[in-house]
Structure 1
């Protein structure tokens, strides 16, 4: 079934397409896959946490490998048994070889996931701070999960047996975690204190219920993040449609642009074609203004996302025409007859240049459509749950 936003994208009505998507009821996003990465330092209990979330014992063949030594060396997926289209990913601990040292590599590695459980034990570390910033830079969300609550309580009881109060200890751990997250720029952080071996105690039931309640909103965010990519097949059809228009109704433009004439005329006509192409894709000033108003941004911000062939770059593409013109001038003055060879060379170069210019213009407009949509929806996709 063709969705209404797909029709709007094909017709170059970006504001209408975004409006259709934002107006979708939450149940529309139920079939959207949600990939949740469980990240943190080695030994924090990530694999055991996944098993607890899935309701599996460590000796179950479907369970994530656990142990005293580091067991997770590669990313592995675990579909959730009851939450539809939810996949938990056991990620190697930060600081392991998989993460590497290059920050850009780490970001690209995490970018394939939609949501995160940052798992930590004992205290908030620089590892968690780095992960928080990487996730925020991607405009995505996370829960912070403090594991090994049973061990924390045992340690607190040994240290102060006469003044031991389980509720106070747990409250102190949660408040300390929240304060650390707030210092990292997180507003209204979600913190859960759990024990992987006692899934019915502490915040584990609350965590599972919260994830269940947030699920459709999280999937909506995922859909909005992926929306530019979802539109790719539509834009492919759009490019084919625009190319067909070129070779039919715009054939005269191609011939004129490819003729061996001074390059100011081709530049003027290319500017007209570029404007027409932007209008067809919904990237003209009026369309961008309507889109900007719909998403609460400025047209300038949306235009800044566009990277397609500009007029200065187009001038560089036209410069090879001077070679043909030079040959024409030399042939005319050297042999004093009509520059047949120069005209053929100039026309051939110009037609070849024109073909690639128009193709690049169409491809650039399609890519710019994705960039503009991504920029328009970044605030919606990054809203806190």
Structure 2
């Protein structure tokens, strides 16, 4: 009953989010989804082949290899599809056993694209022995997607046994474990991640080393991770609404262009330039306001997510590039029209008026379409940045 009620509330929150985005109220869009989260969390277990991914999944689910429903282990380089396993301890968590990176089927350069890693909300990178280039590549990709991960150094029992045999007189278990952790942290930190979450475990001894801490940490952060997963889905939801609104406004441009044509057809030299310029300027600011990315709205949004307004305005490109492109195009096209029209009005008034009006119509239509597309793209970037900031606030 609780899950059903929560699901209905989340649906209501999404409806409110969609409505606010369409209305151009991005502050309200963020407010409408505060406190809500995904009910399921898809965790991808990835790493090189043979690192112990499947064994880790079994241990996390309280199973051993061979138990009913357990992940198959010991099958090197044979997995070709991700396998889903519900977590038997944490509600709403699915563990995905991914094929190993760097195999003949899934080479390092194409691994992320082949497995479409963006569909997973959280990652556990499993590695045995030292920190490798495969791990660094996975860290970079996860960082690029704006998602989080844990790094699990598996087979701690084998590393400790090897150290005990090689240097029995100086063997110190805790010191060796700490060296392993530091090696992993240095490799992850080199990719710009800090502070990295590293756990040293053995699937054969789930009550030793860092495995209990791994479970406790995941359980403690579960609601936060579900919240971030929920926020990560919202840019795609917003994109559909923004494109829908753009299509609606784009359908009105022909009316504006026709009005520009009628004004520019007045037989007064220079009127085409003035009409086109002021119509463009008016509707540029109208688009900013309509999508909710005008100065006032951006300031309110920045306060809402607790970020400097400069971080949001840095996402805007239309205010500079579109205006400069518009001015150049207007000067080039309308300047030519002025010369033609001034000559034609004296001899062929109707022809001159049609030339001025026609160029104004084409210029206005073209520039408004470019402007609208640019402002819509800005809105997508600004909202994604705001949602990212909102996600940071939950950490």
Which TM class, normalised by the smaller chain length?
Answer: 0.7 to 0.9
**Structure 2 CA distance for partners of 1:182 and 1:307, relative to 1, 3 Å:** closer
Q: 1:313 maps to which residue?
A: 325
Post-superposition Cα deviations, 1:100-131, rounded to whole Å, max 9, x if no partner, equal 5489x769954443322121112233433443
Native 8 Å contact 1:73 1:92 kept in 2: yes
Q: Tell me the SS of whatever aligns to 1:263.
A: helix
Deviation (angstroms), 1:149 = 2.0
Q: 2:260 — aligned with what? A: 257
CA distance in structure 2 between the aligned counterparts of 1:381 and 1:219, rounded to whole angstroms: 10
Query: Does residue 29 in structure 1 map to residue 37 in structure 2?
Result: yes
Residue 13 of structure 1 is matched in structure 2 by 25
1:316 CA drift (Å): 5.1
Long gaps (5+) in structure 2: 1-10, 265-270
Mapping of residues 352-371 of structure 1, within 5 Å: 352-371=362-381
Residue 159 (structure 1) aligned with residue 166 (structure 2): yes
Query: Which structure features the higher share of helix residues?
Result: 2
Judge which range, 180-189 or 203-212, deviates more: 180-189
Aligned to 2:296: 286
Report SS of the residue matched to 1:124.
coil
Give the match for residue 280 of structure 2: 270
Please list every run of 5 or more consecutive structure 1 residues that lacks an aligned counterpart in the other structure: none
Cα distance in structure 2, aligned partners of 1:322 and 1:11: 38
- Give per-residue Cα distances to partners, 1:22-81, cap 9 Å, x unaligned: xx33xx2142x433222323321223323433455555796555436323445x141424
Take 1:124 and 1:358, find their aligned partners in 2: how far apart are those partners? 52
Q: Contact (CA 8 Å) 2:108, 2:134: kept in 1 or not?
A: no
C-alpha RMSD over aligned residues? 3.8
Aligned to 1:29, the other structure's residue is in SS state: coil
Q: Contact 2:260–2:357 (CA<8 Å) still a contact in 1?
A: no
Q: Residue 257 of structure 1 contacts residue 351 of structure 1 at CA under 8 Å; is this kept in 2? A: yes
Deviation larger for 160-169 or 188-197: 160-169
SS in 1 for 2:120: coil
Deviation at 1:138, TM superposition (A): 3.8
1:78 counterpart = 2:84: yes
Counterpart pick for 1:338 among 340, 349, 357: 349
1:273 CA drift (Å):
0.7
TM-score, structure 1 normalization: 0.78
Measured in 1, the distance between the counterparts of 2:190 and 2:248 equals: 51
Secondary structure class of the residue paired with 1:39: strand
Q: C-alpha separation between the residues in 1 aligned to 2:334 and 2:98?
A: 55
- How many residue pairs align between the two structures? 371
